[in-house]
Structure 1
Amino acid sequence: MAFQHLSENDLASCARVNRFISEHALDLLYSNSPYLTEFLKILAPMEHLVDYSNASLILRFVRPLTPTDWDRFRHYSPRVRRLSEEYFSGIDDLSRESMLDLISTIPAGEAIFPFLHTLEWQSATNLTRPFVTSLLCHATIVNVEFSTATDDFECGAFLEHLVRRCPNIESLGFWPGPSWYDQIEVDFHSAIQSLPRLHTLDTCDTLVTPEVLKELSHRPHFLNLWSCAFRAEDIPVHGSSEQMLDHQGAFPALSNVAGICSRIMRLPKDVLEGPSLTHLNVYVVDESNIPDLLALVSASCIKLRHFSLMTAPRSISHTAFTADTLKPLLALQYIEVFVVDHTSIPPRISDEDLDVFARSFPRLQHFELCPRAEGEPQIQSPTLASLIPFAQHCRRLISIGIYMDASIPPPALPHEYHSFSCSFQTMNVLCSRIDEPSVVVDFLIALFPLQATIQITRGPLQVRYLRGDYTGFPPPDSDHDLGITSIIYRDEWRRANTILSGLSRTRETLIAHRRDI
């Protein structure tokens, strides 16, 4: 039976039908991120009490745990595959007595979740560290995401326990936050040395020391190095090919790198010139580094298929992206995903300049050039006409987003012109200038295939926030951080999409007419 699309409430109902259906429903219900405190209530009832000395709530078991409780718990605990916890989810409130009861009564040699493979523990404190290391960590865990919330967290002791109890970790995310001390870089390097199967490392750039890079450089299966909040979406995690295994240089399999601009520019040459590097996401805080960065990328990362550059939100900028700034990237002939996300100021680039990009990147699947920039257009700004060369030359294109002055009337299309291919799906916009949505739609229906839409986005869909399910961007309908004029333009684009969606019959007729020609 197909339970995958059922809600938690529906799965809970299915679990009460009969034994056969119940087993399948319970597997799905508990496999992915159950709330830990709710799951522990299977052992014994729990209650909240007020700790008047600290003016806080304490969570505790109402009675001591028994072997019978663990026998019942064992029917459910093997189903848990992924566990995601944050400090505010309740486990920090667990009383010391209940914590000791858990640790002391669990059957000897058993893990509390024996088939757990992914552990995500955000904003951990010293109160929960014994719980994590003693009860949750064991050899079946291969994915760990961990961050701390306090400046006194004992990272060294945690890392030592983690690698000893979870030696098979393949993907490690470790963000110590305020828990910093002189020895942390040494402890972290020692931990990396103890994880021979590691293929993905996600940590703050300060911990990506020369010693750590040297340790990882000759591992034939190391794929991903991330040291900022965002990374490229849709990463192909694969085994090393024969060519990679035969490569005698450093980082033979490294395919995906994400980091802060200043850190990327300080990386050893072997990282950016790796034979397998295809994905690079750069987060820019100091925009004065951008010209040097792009020159470095164009000279070193010749096999890139995904390049994305994001500037820090509300960064102070007095310089718009120009054709001259971006020109070095034209050397990246294999590019399939090109994203430049700069929200502070619109680009100063012409339709003719973008024609050069379209001709240079025939493999493009996704193209974005500041589609979420706020403010009025530059003297030189893209218009709706900039879409025409992408429709003609980029026949694999799936989505496009360009800050454009859509108030400028679009040109009349020639008698013979190329519309976007049937693979094209969305034009991503936010608050580019637009005056007459109906005029814009009249132009777009001549270029768009039947299924294509206008999509309001607050961030590039081709990059992903690294931790949790949060996207890192406000919802599309949110007014957060948008000026009044930007909100007006966004609503006009939304109106344009409504008009476009209502013209399905007209679009079908137009497409049929194109086929006849």
Structure 2
Amino acid sequence: MAQTASTAFWEIPELIARTTTFFDYRSLVALSQVSKSLSEHALDALFRECINIFKLFEILCPLKINRKTQALEFDKSLTAKRWKRFEHYRRRTRIVKIDLNFGTIQTISPKVISQLRAQIPAGEPFLPSLNKMHWESDNPGSYQFVELFVHDRLRELFLSIAGSDVSTVLGKLVPMAPNLESLKLIASGEIDDVPRAQTAAISAINLMTSLRSCALPSILVTPDMIRILSYKKSVKQLWLAPVALFVGRKASTRDVIDNGIIPERFPSLTELAINSARMLDFLPYFSDGHQLRTLHIDIEDQTRLRQTLNLIASSCKALTNFSLRLSDSIPEDLITSPLTMEILQPLLSLHLIEILVIEHPLPPSLNDADMEQFATSFPELQYLELFVQSGCRNVFQTNLPTLGCLIPFAQHCRKLIALGIYMDARQIPPPPPVQAPLTQFAPCFERLEVHCSPIDEPLQVRDFLTTIFPPDAKVDFVRFSKWLSTIDGKMSRAMINSVMALDHIPGKYREEWIVLSCLFKKDSERLPRDIVR
């Protein structure tokens, strides 16, 4: 008798395994009780990703918190019988995520580590199938627990650790996983003995032959490290600054330019986040044929910004995504001059740009003519953000773009999806002559992102915007860039401070922009009655 599709399905283990990834927890528990073969697939899915490692430990032995030390430890001694039962589960786990910075458990007793090591068979890792490890703990010395999980089959390692542990982790723990494809390290607090940590970082990177993605504190980056990284043929992503331009799954409208040139150094590098000083060390390795696509610069010295941008424009001509912001390390009293067109001029030669994000603590000293140069220089532009980085200082600056600067973007940037410009919306452009053709953004345009810039009459601004917007476009009041991200994807302290400063802006600008945003959402119930009328 010929097999039906349903009976054939149950004879293909790979198909069953794939299907179980879509089941919820209760369904998997139920499936584990159907038959022995299906139980194996269900258990693989249940234990594949372990967000709460302590539940896995409880299969091995009950846990308790020591009242004196407040550390987690086993409630009973580990026996051979307990370990034999645990063997049935420990080989199934492939992903472990542990965050001791948030939660009731802040530390793990050293006894747990010694008891586990006593039971693990010689030469075997604790979780043999583990390929992805995520660990967060600011407690000094907590890395010792991570040692249980690190082995040569590990492919991705994310560590957020105390600064005092960085040298030891890079010198001892990372070499235990030489086949890592992704290494991301965050240091909480100051790093002890920076030269030692830099040497350890270089040694660790030397060992990793399959490295594709690397994120390290910028203080560890040296010319020697850059030179060694440049020979790594598989390296595609380097995050060597506190913040990076996170493009994610956003796909370019164009393929990588194939000019037949394969760079000798950094042959695969397409994404880089770096501070401005170290960027100057990178540039000698780049050539006209280099395919770097995404670049973020943390500016540490604004006096050299134009020079840096000139070098970037001449060396990274394939850039499609670019962002820059002033480093959080610059004292506020030293930030006295805004960005001008003279400083930003070199960027206009990067005609392939699709995402452009520029943030600065001061409003930009740009006018409508300057913004028109931006619009005509970037025909591929999809997203533009020109924002104030933290709070809103000097909001009464006179040389700001006006609402009229939007018209050139509607004319020349026909792929534009979102636009955010710190502008003076108090000046409403006059209506076009009756016979003049109507200028509107392309149908793909979705939103205007607004900040805390000057605005007086949201209804008049709404009337103007509706003449140039496609039907479904809206206005969004935003507090910080959605494109800039820290390594762990969380808000940095600087971003949090920015949001807090924005919530305490004096005057009515913030409220007026929110009113305008609500008008485009047709959310009239949330508006004051005098505005609705």
> Which band: TM-score by shorter chain?
0.7 to 0.9
Alpha-carbon distance change, 47 to 352 in structure 1, aligned in 2, over 3 angstroms: same
Amino acid of the structure 2 residue aligned with 1:341: E
| 1:70 match: secondary structure | helix
Candidates 428, 446, 461, aligned match of 1:440:
461
Work out the percentage of aligned pairs sharing the same amino acid. 30
Structure 2 equivalent of residue 499 of structure 1: 519
- Structure 1 distance, partners of 2:264, 2:282, is 16
- Structure 1 distance, partners of 2:299, 2:96, is 32
Name whichever of 446-455 and 25-34 sits farther off. 25-34
| 1:330 match: secondary structure | helix
Quote the offset at 1:413 in angstroms: 3.9
1:199–1:223 CA contact under 8 A, matched in 2: yes
Name whichever of 490-499 and 182-191 sits farther off. 182-191
- Give yes or no for the alignment of 1:277 onto 2:288: no
Count of residue pairs the alignment pairs up: 490
Quote the offset at 1:175 in angstroms: 4.3
- Structure 1 distance, partners of 2:94, 2:479, is 32
Alpha-carbon distance change, 402 to 272 in structure 1, aligned in 2, over 3 angstroms: farther
Structure 1 equivalent of residue 144 of structure 2: 130
2:381–2:415 CA contact under 8 A, matched in 1: yes
Structure 1 equivalent of residue 320 of structure 2: 305
Candidates 359, 377, 400, aligned match of 1:341:
359
- Give yes or no for the alignment of 1:193 onto 2:193: no
TM-align CA RMSD: 3.4
Amino acid of the structure 1 residue aligned with 2:500: H
1:358–1:390 CA contact under 8 A, matched in 2: yes
Alpha-carbon distance change, 450 to 405 in structure 1, aligned in 2, over 3 angstroms: same
Candidates 165, 172, 175, aligned match of 1:160:
172
- Structure 2 distance, partners of 1:154, 1:202, is 13
1:245–1:252 CA contact under 8 A, matched in 2: no
Quote the offset at 1:330 in angstroms: 0.7
Alpha-carbon distance change, 353 to 162 in structure 1, aligned in 2, over 3 angstroms: closer
- Structure 2 distance, partners of 1:377, 1:24, is 64
Structure 2 equivalent of residue 332 of structure 1: 350
Alpha-carbon distance change, 439 to 71 in structure 1, aligned in 2, over 3 angstroms: farther
Structure 2 equivalent of residue 233 of structure 1: 246
Matches within 5 A, 1:133-144: 133=147, 135-144=148-157
CA offsets 1:95-116 (integer angstroms, 9 cap, x no match) = 2222211111134454333332
- Give yes or no for the alignment of 1:411 onto 2:430: yes
Quote the offset at 1:394 in angstroms: 0.6
- Give yes or no for the alignment of 1:255 onto 2:270: yes
Q: TM-score normalised to the size of structure 2?
A: 0.81
- Structure 1 distance, partners of 2:87, 2:256, is 41
Structure 2 equivalent of residue 421 of structure 1: 442
1:305–1:336 CA contact under 8 A, matched in 2: yes
Amino acid of the structure 2 residue aligned with 1:210: P
Structure 2 equivalent of residue 362 of structure 1: 379
Amino acid of the structure 1 residue aligned with 2:364: P
| 1:183 match: secondary structure | helix
1:279–1:306 CA contact under 8 A, matched in 2: yes
Alpha-carbon distance change, 431 to 249 in structure 1, aligned in 2, over 3 angstroms: same
Structure 2 equivalent of residue 398 of structure 1: 417
Q: TM-score normalised to the size of structure 1?
A: 0.84
Structure 1 equivalent of residue 3 of structure 2: none
Candidates 175, 179, 184, aligned match of 1:173:
184
- Structure 1 distance, partners of 2:256, 2:415, is 26
Quote the offset at 1:173 in angstroms: 2.0
Amino acid of the structure 2 residue aligned with 1:160: K
- Structure 2 distance, partners of 1:72, 1:128, is 27
Matches within 5 A, 1:196-235: 196-234=209-247
- Structure 1 distance, partners of 2:496, 2:138, is 27
- Give yes or no for the alignment of 1:61 onto 2:74: yes
Quote the offset at 1:403 in angstroms: 0.4
Candidates 464, 475, 482, aligned match of 2:485:
464
Structure 1 equivalent of residue 111 of structure 2: 97
Quote the offset at 1:200 in angstroms: 1.9
- Structure 1 distance, partners of 2:261, 2:287, is 19
Alpha-carbon distance change, 72 to 410 in structure 1, aligned in 2, over 3 angstroms: farther
Alpha-carbon distance change, 417 to 121 in structure 1, aligned in 2, over 3 angstroms: same
1:244–1:253 CA contact under 8 A, matched in 2: no
CA offsets 1:75-124 (integer angstroms, 9 cap, x no match) = 54445433333443566532222221111113445433333222222346
- Structure 2 distance, partners of 1:487, 1:114, is 60
Structure 1 equivalent of residue 14 of structure 2: none
- Structure 2 distance, partners of 1:337, 1:280, is 10
| 2:54 match: secondary structure | helix
Alpha-carbon distance change, 440 to 241 in structure 1, aligned in 2, over 3 angstroms: closer
For structure 2, the residue ranges without an aligned partner over 5 or more in a row are 1-17, 525-533
CA offsets 1:356-413 (integer angstroms, 9 cap, x no match) = 1101100001111125661424222111111111111111111110001112223314
1:199–1:224 CA contact under 8 A, matched in 2: yes
- Structure 1 distance, partners of 2:397, 2:186, is 40
For structure 1, the residue ranges without an aligned partner over 5 or more in a row are 505-517
Alpha-carbon distance change, 42 to 309 in structure 1, aligned in 2, over 3 angstroms: same
Structure 2 equivalent of residue 507 of structure 1: none
CA offsets 1:209-239 (integer angstroms, 9 cap, x no match) = 232222222332222222111122225799x
| 1:190 match: secondary structure | helix
Alpha-carbon distance change, 5 to 18 in structure 1, aligned in 2, over 3 angstroms: closer
Name whichever of 326-335 and 374-383 sits farther off. 374-383
Amino acid of the structure 2 residue aligned with 1:172: L
Quote the offset at 1:275 in angstroms: 0.9
Alpha-carbon distance change, 318 to 452 in structure 1, aligned in 2, over 3 angstroms: same
- Structure 2 distance, partners of 1:293, 1:495, is 40
Quote the offset at 1:137 in angstroms: 0.7
Quote the offset at 1:436 in angstroms: 1.9
Candidates 474, 493, 502, aligned match of 1:482:
502
- Structure 1 distance, partners of 2:449, 2:496, is 14
1:220–1:245 CA contact under 8 A, matched in 2: no
Structure 1 equivalent of residue 451 of structure 2: 430
Alpha-carbon distance change, 112 to 446 in structure 1, aligned in 2, over 3 angstroms: farther
